Structure formats: structure tokens, C-alpha cells
Amino acid sequence: MSTSTIKSFGLSRYNIVICFMIHFLVALDALVIVPFSSTMALHLGADASQAGYLVSAYAMAAAITCLLTKGSSDINREIKRIYFYLVGITLTTWLTTFLSDFNILILCRLLTGFFGGALVVLNLNYLIQISSEEKRKQNIAILLSSFPLALAVGVPSIIVLSSGSSWQLAFQIIGSALVLMGILFFISTRNITKDHSQDLICSNDNKLLLAETLKNRDVRFSVTLAFSAVLGTFLVSTQFPVMLSVNLNISPKLLSFCYAISGVCSFITMQYYGIVKMSDLTVGRVIILLSVVMAVSITLGFRTENVDLAAIAFIVFVIVSSTRTLILVTELICSIPTQERLFLISLQNSLQHFAVGLGSMFSSLLIYSRPDLSLDFSNLIIVSLIMASGTPILWIFYRKNSLFNYHSND
């Protein structure tokens, strides 16, 4: 896109803030269901062990739409599509607060995931198009930081605000914020004109390239390894707050504190890893160490009857698991050639949603209700420990058998 076209857009911090807030609210809509899922299931007459289906419904729908949604360089078309999906996610988020049937609520979350998954793809593409070359990387980084910020600030804030009321208030707050962002987005895009200087981002050549890339053995193994790491994380992280709420009756303030601390610390570790240089051997040792800490926090958190100790274990698990996933995925991306690297990067958003959905669904199948209405997580503990230990083993196997030379691609 030319400099004159960028100037005609009148890009300012205002536009960036609007894009960031849309991304932030979509992330918040997806994340806030986790601490409220058990309460929502019980309120609608379902078993607390089925709470994971609420999370998986959104995540699976979002994953599919992330793969199917393709951006274009027609800025007017992108704006209209953002309008459509923004209206859709706003309506379904509001509809969530009025439903009284658990199965219909799952369907509603499916629709919300459909709109949310497409919206994050189009919103990112829109920001890229209106950003100048020198500001593009910075603006993308700002937008992608909305997810950890939603976890660190958004979720605990929503928990505190709705602690004296019902879970419906959480989605009413998000729905109201989405209405406001829709209005502000409309105002910010009134003067943006159509630009025909670029071809469609997803061309037939790109589709052929995707098919060829998937034939590569190392790329397939990289995708599998990354997916297993994310799956192992969300297999536990979606059920940890359920256990804290149902079995240990954790207070809303303590739960919000756990989310805030884990989110902030995860954000800090992500920034620290970005500036630290580690050798291949050091990376392997760090992944093994983080996996061991994950296993300890899982065992301690789900076995103890002390709510404070379990809360600490939850915080530790979120920090080490998110850090391990970040390191693993980043190292995989950096260890493969540029062509395959672009494919793996584009796959991450969909991969994460698929892992969240499958992890939530699978973990719900591993949980059983006890006669006293508490939940039995024994099977989940065993499977999650296997997943936690399996990832570093796969990593070691990958590093020894990869066809790519890690250092030759720098």
C-alpha cells in the first residue's frame, strides 16, 4: 500500500486503539467463559463436569472459521465484513445472558466462536493494511498482546465486577463494550476509501503452496508437536478453575487474583524470552524443567484440599505452561525455512483454538461427579501428566531427527 494511500486513511492512535479493543474484547469473550463455566452449567441444570463443553464449543467454531476466513486487500470489503462479524458476536454475546437451556447455550457459544474467529482474522488484516511499513510490526505486536492482557486484566476485572451478581452480568458488560466498539469503529472508518493497489491476499498460488507445505514431513511434525503442547496446557487450564470453584469453593476475589498474577507473570516471561539468547541445548533443558514444574503443579493443585495451596499451584501452572508453549512454538517457527515458516505462523491462531476446544471437550469426558456433588479429577491428572511428559520427549526426538539444520537457517 502506498504512502499516499496510508495518509488518506488518516491513521492515528485512535484507529489502533479501536482495533486493539476489538481484539481484546474477542479474547475476553473467549477467556471469561472458563472461570464461569461450572457456575453456568449448574445454573442451567447441567452437571458441572460438562462445563468444558461451553469452552470447547466456542474454541472449535473459532478454529474452523480462522482457517476458512481469508483476508483481501479491498479495504472497503474488509470494513464491511468486520461490521458484519462485529454485529454477530455482539448479538450472540448478549443472547447468552437470556438463555435458560444448557444445550441452546452451547449452540449460542458455537455461533459466538464463528463470529469471533472470523473477526480476529479480519481485524488483524485491516490493521496491517492501514499501517505504514515502519509501523506495521509494532502495530501487530500491540494487537497480539491483547490476549495476555485480557487474561491479566480483563478476566479478573470481570470476575470482581460480577461477584456480587450473576454470571450474566459478565457477558452483559462484554456485550455493552462490543456495542461501543462497533460505534467507534464505524466513526473511525467513515473516511477510508477503497484501494485496488494489491491483489487478494489469499491467491490460488497460496492455496497450492499450502497443499505442498503440508506434504513436508518436518512441517507436519512441527504442527503435531506444537498442537500437543497447547493441548496439554488447555487440557488442565480449562478445568483448574472448575476444580477450585466446585471442590474448594474458592472466593471470586482470590480467583481473580490468580488470573491477574498468572497473566502478568506470563506476559513478563514472554517479553524476557524475546530478548534472551539461548543455545539449542539450553532450550531443551528449559522445556524439560518447565514440564517437570507443570507436572508438580498439576499433582499438587488437584490433590490438595487447601484452597490457598491449590491457588498457588494454579498460578504456577499457567505461568510455566504458557512459557513452555511460547518457547516451543517460537523455536519450531525459527528452525524451519521461510516458506514453511509463514505457513506455521498463519496456522497458530487456528491451532490454539482447536487445542482449547479439544482439550476442554476431552477433559470433560475424564471428569466424574461424586455423590457429594464434588468432582473426581483422577483420570484427568493421569492423562495430563502423560501429556506434560510427552512433549519434551517429542521435542528431543524432533531435534535429533529433523531434516532441517537449526543453525543454517539463521
Give 17-57 as a 3 state SS string.
HHHHHHHHHHHHHHHCHHHHHHHHHHHCCCCHHHCHHHHHH
Of 141, 176, 202, the domain-final residue = 202
For residue 127, CA distances in Å to 9, 36, 88, 200 come to 11, 32, 20, 16
Q: Which residue has the cell 494511500?
A: 5
Cell numbers of 177, please? 463494550
Tell me: do 262 and 393 sit in the same domain.
yes
Cell numbers of 91, please? 448479538
Higher pLDDT, 293 or 397: 293
Cell numbers of 164, please? 456480587
Residue 143 has φ and ψ, to the nearest 5°, of -65, -45
Cell numbers of 93, please? 454475546
Tell me: do 17 and 31 sit in the same domain.
yes
Cell numbers of 65, please? 472459521
Tell me: do 97 and 213 sit in the same domain.
no
Tell me: do 285 and 400 sit in the same domain.
yes
Q: Please, which pLDDT band fits residue 218 given cuts at 50, 70 and 90?
A: low
Among residues 19, 5, 23, 13, the alpha carbon closest in space to that of 132 is found at 5
Give the dihedral sign, CA 119/60/398/388.
positive
Among residues 85, 109, 87, the alpha carbon closest in space to that of 96 is found at 109
For residues 160 and 163, what is the distance between their CA atoms, to the nearest angstrom? 5
378-401 vs 217-237: helix crossing angle, rounded to 10: 160
- Domain tally for the chain? 2
Tell me: do 59 and 139 sit in the same domain.
yes
For residues 114 and 93, what is the distance between their CA atoms, to the nearest angstrom? 12
For residues 5 and 326, what is the distance between their CA atoms, to the nearest angstrom? 36
Range of the domain at 122: 1-202
| Residue 19 and residue 127 in contact, taking contact as beta carbons nearer than 8 Å | yes
- This prediction's pTM: 0.68
Tell me: do 190 and 262 sit in the same domain.
no
Q: Please, which pLDDT band fits residue 7 given cuts at 50, 70 and 90?
A: very low
Of 202, 233, 249, the domain-final residue = 202
Tell me: do 195 and 299 sit in the same domain.
no
- Coil vs helix vs strand at 331: helix
Tell me: do 176 and 217 sit in the same domain.
no
Strands 375-376, 368-369: parallel, antiparallel or unpaired by DSSP? antiparallel
Q: How far separated are the first and last CA of the chain, in Å rounded?
A: 29
* Cα three-residue angle 399-351-363, rounded to 5 degrees: 100
Whether 338 shows a pLDDT value over 60: the answer reads: no
Tell me: do 143 and 190 sit in the same domain.
yes
For residues 166 and 169, what is the distance between their CA atoms, to the nearest angstrom? 6
Q: Which residue has the cell 480476529?
A: 120
The residues near 383 (Cβ < 8 Å, ≥ 6 apart) are 235, 362, 366
Reported as a single tens digit per residue, the pLDDT across 53-104 is: 888 888 888 888 887 877 677 788 889 999 999 999 999 999 999 998 999 9
Residue 375 has φ and ψ, to the nearest 5°, of -110, 145
What is residue 309's predicted lDDT score, i.e. its pLDDT?
A: 95
- Coil vs helix vs strand at 161: helix
Higher pLDDT, 164 or 118: 118
Reported as a single tens digit per residue, the pLDDT across 250-305 is: 888 888 888 888 878 877 887 677 677 777 778 888 899 999 999 999 999 999 99
For residue 134, CA distances in Å to 140, 146, 213 come to 11, 21, 30
Reported as a single tens digit per residue, the pLDDT across 347-365 is: 666 777 777 777 777 887 8
Kindly state the helix (H) or strand (E) to which residue 207 belongs, with its residue range.
Answer: helix 204-214
Beta bridge partners of 376: 368
Whether 116 shows a pLDDT value over 80: the answer reads: yes
Of 180, 202, 224, the domain-final residue = 202
Tell me: do 177 and 243 sit in the same domain.
no
Tell me: do 137 and 96 sit in the same domain.
yes
For residues 269 and 271, what is the distance between their CA atoms, to the nearest angstrom? 5
Tell me: do 212 and 84 sit in the same domain.
no
Q: CATH number, domain at 88? A: 1.20.1250.20
Among residues 181, 170, 162, 178, the alpha carbon closest in space to that of 31 is found at 170
